[in-house]
C-alpha cells in the first residue's frame, strides 16, 4: 500500500533538517553559540557574515556587534580564526584564537583599530572574548565585568593598537606597539608589557606629542575598572613606564627617565572607575561654564576618594621654562594616598634657572597631608551646596604635619646670593585654621654681605658673609587657654643669639576655631603673659664696643664706663623704683664689662589685655613698664 504524499513530504523535511545540521560543522556551531551568548553578557545582538571550516580551524568572517549602555561601542572584525578545543558551544579549551581587522567606533568619534590579535591557550567563552573588545581601549579597560571575567588565556599578543580618544575635552591619537598580556586569568593579568606608546593631537587639535618607552605592569586586575558594588580590590601590584619624551603645553621639550608604581587599590562606588574617567576626559578643563565646573569637581573628588596608591616615583626629569631655561628634577615620589590623605611627597635634586638666577634644591619633603575636608568641599560644590564667593570653611584647608627642605642654593653666575642647609616645620593637630603646636628650625643659612650692607654691619664684626640659624616652638595649651612661645631664637655666627620666651593668655578654643572671623574678639580677650628676652654674646657686642671706642678716640675701658653712665641715666628716667633701677643698672654694667649674656624678664602685674598695652605704647614703649615686674640678669 502506497504511503500518502503528506507523509513523504514530512520525511523529506526531517531528512533535510538533519542533513543541514550535520553539514553545519564546528564553525557554524561556534558562530551561533557565540552570537546567542552575547546578550547575556550585556552586549547587543551580533551577526556573522560567514562561518567556515578550514583545515581543522573554525573561521568566522565579517562579525559585527555593539555594547549597550550610555556610551555604546560598535565593533567590526574581519576574521576570527579558532583552532584547537572547539566544542558545540562557544566554549574554548586551550584554543588558539587569531583576530584580524578589528575596529571599534563610538558615536562621539572615539575609535580604535587593531590589525591583528593572537590569543594562545584560550579558555572560557568566545562570546566573552569578543564582548571584551566593545570598549574604547581594549585590553586596558573592559566593556563590563561579565566579558572581562568570561575567559582566560596564556598570552595575548597585539602588535599594534591605534586609538582615537578624548582627553581633557580634545581628541588625541594614541599608538601602542608590541602589547603582550601574559597569564590572563578572568580579568587578572600576570604581566602586561607595552613596547612603546606615542600620543599626539589629532588633525586640527592642539596638544603635546609624547613618546613612552617599554612599560611593564605586574598583577593588573582589569575588572576593578568596570566593577561597582561594595568590594575593595587591588587593581595593580606594581608597574613602570619607560623613558618618556615629549613637549609640554608651552611647547618646550621634556624627558623623564622612568615612572614606577607601587600597589594601587580601588574602593567601591556606584559608578565604575572607567565610567568616571571617561566622563572626566570629556570635560574641557578650561571651560568657564558653572555647571561644567561643578560636574568636573565632583568627578575628580569621587575618583580621588576611591583610589589608594601605595607609591608613585618619577626619576630623571629634564625640561625647560617658558623662557627656555633648563629645569631638572632627579626624583619625585608620592606615597600613601588614600581618600584625600597623603602620607608624603618629595622632590629631590631640583635645578631651575630663571631671571638670571640658578637655584638648586637638594630635597623638599612634605608629610602628613590631610585634604579630606577639601574633597568634601569639592563634593558640596558639585552638588550645589557651596558656591564660589562663599567663605571657605576652615575644615576645607589641607592639614600638613611636616615640611623639610634641604640644601637650597641660589646663585647669580658664580656669585652665591643665598644658601640654606636645612629648614624644617612640624605642626600638631589643627584647631580651626591654627595648628595646636608649631615647630620650625632653620640651619645653615648663608648670605653674602655686599655694597652698603658691609658698612652697616662692620661695627658688629661682620665683613663678607652672614651665617644664621633660627628656631620657633609654639604651642596652644587648651587647659590654660594660652599660646606659649617656648622658644623663638635667632642666632648669628660671630655676633650672638636672641631668644624670646613668652605667653599670651585668655584665648578660648572656640575663638581660635572661629578664626579669621573671630580675630577682633580674640584680640580683645588676649592677655599678656610672662616674657623673657635673652641675648647670648658671640662676639658682636665686643666688636661693637671696640669699634665705637675707636670711633670716639678713647680706649675700651673708658668707653665702657661712659656706656654704663649713660645706661644708668636712661634707666633712671623711666623706672621710678630706685632699688629696681639700681639693680637693672648693675646687671647691665656687669654685661658691658664682660659681655656674655643678658636676660630681661617681664611679669604682668595682674591681667593686662594686649589691647591696653597697644594703647599705652602709642606715646612711648616705656609707658608700659609700670604694668610689669621687671628682672634683669647678666652673665648667668
Dist CA 307 CA 189 (whole Å): 19
Judge whether 425 and 440 are in contact, CB under 8 Å.
yes
557 or 8, which is more confident? 557
pTM, two decimal places: 0.85
Q: Is the pLDDT of residue 597 over 90?
A: yes
pLDDT tier, 16 (very low <50, low <70, confident <90, very high otherwise): very low
| DSSP 8-state assignment for residue 306 | T
Determine the pLDDT at residue 285. Answer: 66
Reply yes or no on whether the pLDDT at 206 is more than 90: no
- At 70 the pLDDT is 77
User: Can you tell me whether residue 598 is helix, strand or coil?
Assistant: strand
Q: List, in order, residues 6 or more apart from 149 with CB less than 8 Å away.
A: 128, 186, 187, 223
Instruction: Reply yes or no on whether the pLDDT at 265 is more than 90.
Output: yes
Q: Is the pLDDT of residue 468 over 50?
A: yes
130: nearest Cα among 156, 96, 99: 99
Percent pLDDT > 90 in the chain is 64
The pairing of strands 57-66 and 326-338 is: unpaired
Q: What is the mean pLDDT of residues 168-192?
A: 92
450 has a pLDDT exceeding 50:
yes
- Whole-number pLDDT of residue 414: 87
CA distance linking residue 247 with residue 236, whole number of Å: 28
Structure confidence by residue, pLDDT tens digits, 347-403: 999 999 988 899 999 999 999 999 999 999 999 999 999 988 888 888 899 999 999
Q: How confident is the model at residue 162 (pLDDT cuts 50, 70, 90)?
A: very high
pLDDT (tens digit per residue) in 41-79: 999 989 999 999 998 899 999 999 999 877 889 999 999
Instruction: Give the C-alpha separation, 351 to 310, whole Å.
Output: 27
Residue 598 to residues 193, 293, 395: CA-CA distances in angstroms? 70, 60, 44
Indicate the length of the chain as a whole number: 636
Query: Given a cut of 90, is residue 472 above it in pLDDT?
Result: yes
The mean pLDDT value for 559-570 works out to 92
Q: What's residue 20's pLDDT? A: 39
The CA distance from 350 to 362, in Å, is 6
- What proportion of the chain, given as a percentage, has pLDDT over 70? 94
Q: Is the pLDDT assigned to residue 197 strictly greater than 90?
A: yes
**What are the grid coordinates assigned to 512, written together?**
581660635
DSSP structure class, residue 398:
P
Mean residue pLDDT across the chain = 89
Of the candidates 341, 402, 342, the one whose C-alpha atom is nearest the C-alpha of residue 372 is 341
CA separation for the pair 231, 266 (Å, rounded)? 9
Amino acid at each position: 500500500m502506497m504511503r500518502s504524499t503528506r507523509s513523504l513530504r514530512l520525511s523529506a523535511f526531517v531528512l533535510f533538517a538533519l542533513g543541514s545540521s550535520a553539514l553545519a560543522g564546528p564553525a557554524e556551531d561556534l558562530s551561533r553559540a557565540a552570537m546567542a551568548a552575547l546578550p547575556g553578557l550585556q552586549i547587543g545582538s551580533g551577526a556573522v557574515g560567514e562561518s567556515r571550516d578550514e583545515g581543522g580551524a573554525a573561521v568566522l568572517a565579517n562579525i559585527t556587534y555593539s555594547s549597550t549602555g550610555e556610551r555604546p561601542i560598535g565593533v567590526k572584525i574581519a576574521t576570527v580564526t579558532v583552532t584547537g578545543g572547539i566544542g558545540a558551544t562557544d566554549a574554548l579549551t586551550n584554543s588558539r584564537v587569531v583576530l584580524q581587522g578589528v575596529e571599534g567606533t563610538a558615536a562621539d568619534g572615539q575609535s580604535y583599530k587593531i590589525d591583528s590579535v593572537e590569543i594562545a591557550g584560550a579558555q572560557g567563552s568566545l562570546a566573552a572574548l569578543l564582548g571584551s573588545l566593545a570598549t574604547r581601549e581594549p585590553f586596558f579597560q573592559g566593556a563590563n565585568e561579565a566579558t572581562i571575567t568570561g575567559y582566560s588565556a596564556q598570552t595575548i599578543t597585539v602588535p599594534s593598537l591605534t586609538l582615537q580618544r578624548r582627553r581633557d575635552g580634545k581628541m588625541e591619537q594614541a599608538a601602542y606597539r608590541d602589547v603582550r598580556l601574559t597569564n590572563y586569568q578572568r580579568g587578572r593579568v600576570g604581566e602586561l608589557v607595552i613596547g612603546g606608546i606615542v600620543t599626539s593631537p589629532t588633525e586640527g587639535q592642539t596638544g603635546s606629542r609624547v613618546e613612552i618607552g617599554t612599560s611593564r605592569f605586574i598583577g593588573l586586575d582589569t575588572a576593578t575598572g568596570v566593577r561597582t558594588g561594595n568590594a575593595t580590590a587591588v587593581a595593580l601590584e606594581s608597574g613602570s613606564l619607560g623613558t618618556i619624551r615629549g613637549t609640554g603645553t608651552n611647547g618646550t621639550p621634556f624627558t623623564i627617565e622612568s615612572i614606577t608604581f607601587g600597589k594601587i587599590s580601588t574602593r567601591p562606588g556606584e559608578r565604575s572607575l572607567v565610567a568616571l574617567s571617561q566622563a572626566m576626559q570629556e570635560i574641557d578643563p578650561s571651560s568657564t561654564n558653572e555647571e561644567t565646573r561643578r560636574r568636573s569637581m565632583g568627578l575628580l573628588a569621587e575618583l580621588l576618594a576611591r583610589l589608594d596608591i601605595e607609591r608613585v616615583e618619577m626619576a630623571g626629569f629634564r625640561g625647560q621654562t617658558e623662557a627656555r631655561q633648563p629645569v631638572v628634577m632627579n626624583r619625585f615620589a608620592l606615597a600613601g594616598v588614600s581618600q584625600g590623605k597623603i602620607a608624603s611627597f618629595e622632590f629631590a635634586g631640583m635645578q631651575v634657572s630663571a631671571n638670571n638666577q640658578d637655584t638648586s634644591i637638594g630635597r623638599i619633603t612634605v608629610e602628613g597631608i590631610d585634604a579630606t575636608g577639601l574633597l568634601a568641599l569639592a563634593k558640596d560644590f558639585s552638588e550645589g551646596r557651596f558656591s564660589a564667593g562663599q567663605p571657605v570653611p576652615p575644615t576645607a584647608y589641607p592639614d600638613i604635619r611636616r615640611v623639610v627642605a634641604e640644601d637650597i642654593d641660589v646663585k647669580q653666575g658664580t656669585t652665591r646670593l643665598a644658601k640654606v642647609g636645612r629648614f624644617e616645620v612640624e605642626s600638631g593637630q589643627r584647631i580651626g585654621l591654627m595648628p595646636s603646636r608649631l615647630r620650625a628650625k632653620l640651619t645653615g643659612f648663608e648670605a653674602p654681605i655686599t655694597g652698603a650692607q658691609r658698612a652697616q654691619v662692620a661695627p658688629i664684626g661682620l665683613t663678607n658673609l652672614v651665617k644664621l640659624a633660627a628656631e620657633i616652638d609654639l604651642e596652644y595649651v587648651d587647659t590654660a587657654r594660652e599660646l606659649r612661645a617656648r622658644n623663638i631664637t635667632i642666632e648669628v655666627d660671630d655676633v650672638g643669639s636672641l631668644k624670646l620666651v613668652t605667653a599670651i593668655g585668655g584665648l578660648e578654643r572656640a575663638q581660635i576655631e572661629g578664626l579669621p572671623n573671630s580675630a577682633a574678639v580674640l584680640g580683645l580677650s588676649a592677655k599678656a603673659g610672662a616674657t623673657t628676652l635673652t641675648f647670648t654674646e658671640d662676639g658682636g657686642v665686643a666688636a661693637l664696643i671696640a669699634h665705637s671706642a675707636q670711633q670716639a678716640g678713647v680706649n675700651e675701658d673708658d668707653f665702657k664706663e661712659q656706656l654704663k653712665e649713660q645706661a644708668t641715666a636712661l634707666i633712671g628716667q623711666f623706672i621710678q623704683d630706685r632699688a629696681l633701677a639700681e639693680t637693672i643698672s648693675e646687671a647691665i654694667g656687669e654685661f658691658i664689662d664682660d659681655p656674655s649674656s643678658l636676660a630681661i624678664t617681664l611679669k604682668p602685674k595682674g591681667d593686662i589685655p594686649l589691647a591696653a598695652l597697644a594703647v599705652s605704647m602709642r606715646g612711648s614703649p616705656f609707658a608700659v613698664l609700670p604694668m610689669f615686674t621687671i628682672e634683669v640678669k647678666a652673665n648667668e
